Amino acid sequence: MTLKRNIIITGGAGFIGSHVVRLFVNNYPEYHIINLDKLTYAGNLANLQDIENRPNYTFVKADICDYDKIRELLQHYHVDGIIHLAAESHVDRSIKDPFTFAHTNVMGTLTLLQAAKVYWESLPERYEGKRFYHISTDEVYGALQLTNPAGDKTGRGPYGDQFFTEESKYNPHSPYSASKAGSDHFVRAFHDTYGMPTIVTNCSNNYGPYQFPEKLIPLFINNIRHHKPLPVYGKGENVRDWLYVIDHARAIDVIFHRGRIAETYNIGGFNEWKNLDIIKVLIKTADRLLGHPEGYSSDLITYVTDRKGHDLRYAIDSTKLKNELGWEPSLQFEEGIEETVRWYLNNQAWMDNVTSGDYQNYYESMYKNR
């Protein structure tokens, strides 16, 4: 059978990427989905064991910075769509090692763009039916003012009336967000210069199953389970907009298929929480599910020195996406966090494997000679 489309999804073994790969493999059996992942510490093929034998799925271990390999893959699989999620994404790591973030996030994106340009322009139809979709972050916009510190349900948002829109100016404050901003600019430049059919989306904080436990929610769930300290930056007053990862995958699906070329779409949940408040929800939920008395883990909260350049508030306005393409979050935060906490508590073997690093040794051995 000739498949209708051949789509590379970069970073498909990671947190968000694995959910996007699963959705496309399951929902579009007529597509061939090529999962391209370098399998760094954040990439784990155990995230995709349920679909790894599907006939429309292929995994390729490769580095997005390897231009010759990317060219070869595009030609071999006759790729007509790229959904680009592969990125270094942890702010603390970017502060310690900005070079890796610039290399992967900027040069990796540029490598994909140039390889796609050269391959697609070599075809008789050139860019017709092609699409390069780049997934970015709300952090490129900088920070918003916290004009309602109490978080009362007044005005447009609980913590202020300002939101990031698609017209917000870029103002990155960390090496991570600066590297993502640079990659966003390259994607738009390839449309404006070469006519490449590109789309960019900027999304708020994601949470849900399969997230690497360096991030707040899985880290704290695991620490609560093992009664370890819960380190809170500063006073825990930083505000983030949270989106359930499967809702993000749904948005990517809609935008890839129906989004307008050369447009930017913001993806968010209108779901702002202070870090300290979300930690309290995690404690309450995990303690209940673990059979602990209410408040049992509250004494684990430990305040630590604030992160350098720590933005105070992010908040995404995804009105454009809702009005144009009909997307909106399917889960309220309380529902999503309940499902998330329950998943991590019920999948301790996955968590133990990830925190031990054993999964990396397994896959390094499997693919070292390929």
Active site residue 176: yes
Q: Report the 10 Å Cβ neighbour count for 9.
A: 27
> Which stretches within 40-167 are classed as H helix?
67-77, 91-96, 98-101, 108-121
Give strand pairing partners of 83: 9, 133
Active site residue 139: yes
Establish how many alpha carbons lie within 13 A of residue 80's alpha carbon, considering only the half-sphere containing its beta carbon: 15
The packing angle between helices 175-194 and 108-121, to 10°, is 20
Q: Torsion angle of alpha carbons 36, 51, 245, 262, nearest 10°?
A: 50
Q: Which residue has the tokens 């947190």?
A: 15
Residue type, 139: E
CA–CA separation, 199 and 185 (whole Å): 11
Structure tokens at 221: 């769930």
Q: Among residues 57, 133, 141, 176, which one is catalytic?
A: 176
Q: Among residues 139, 237, 241, 311, which one is catalytic?
A: 139
Structure tokens at 348: 């301790």
CA–CA separation, 239 and 311 (whole Å): 9
| Selection from 113, 118, 128 nearest residue 80 by Cα | 128
Q: Among residues 37, 80, 88, 138, which one is catalytic?
A: 138
E-assigned strands of the chain?
A: 5-10, 31-37, 57-61, 81-84, 131-137, 198-203, 205-207, 230-233, 239-244, 264-267, 272-274, 301-304
Structure tokens at 168: 């917000």
Give the C-alpha distances (Å, rounded to integers) separating 226 from 58, 169, 300, 357: 37, 42, 11, 18
Q: Which residues are designated catalytic? A: 138-139, 176
